[in-house]
Amino acid sequence: MPDHVHAILRPIAEDGRAERITRIARHLKHWLGVRINQILGRSGPVWQIETYDHALRGEKDYEEKASYIYTNAQVAGLVDDPLDWPWWGQGNGPR
């Protein structure tokens, strides 16, 4: 989306522990903010402070959120077909 990002993340456990989603989001937002500012030749904040997260609880919840993300640009009237959204990417999570 032009002004926000949707993603489904699944932390990878190492030594029986996985990073918290809030920590992953913070690092991701920092890295992306630096890159966005580099590309646009500017500096300063890119993201709002808050992050909305939702723990997916089962296949049905996953399918609902994945469908929402997939069709979001189409529903917003930005593309006719979700696959035409140039920033669409599909991970290798459960389907």
- Domain chopping of the chain, boundaries: 1-53, 55-95
pLDDT given for residue 92 in this prediction: 52
Mean of pLDDT over the chain: 86
Distance CA 60, CA 86 (A): 27
pLDDT of 16-53, one tens digit each? 888 888 888 889 889 999 999 999 999 999 988 777 88
CB 46 within 8 A of CB 33: yes
- pLDDT for 93 beyond 50: no
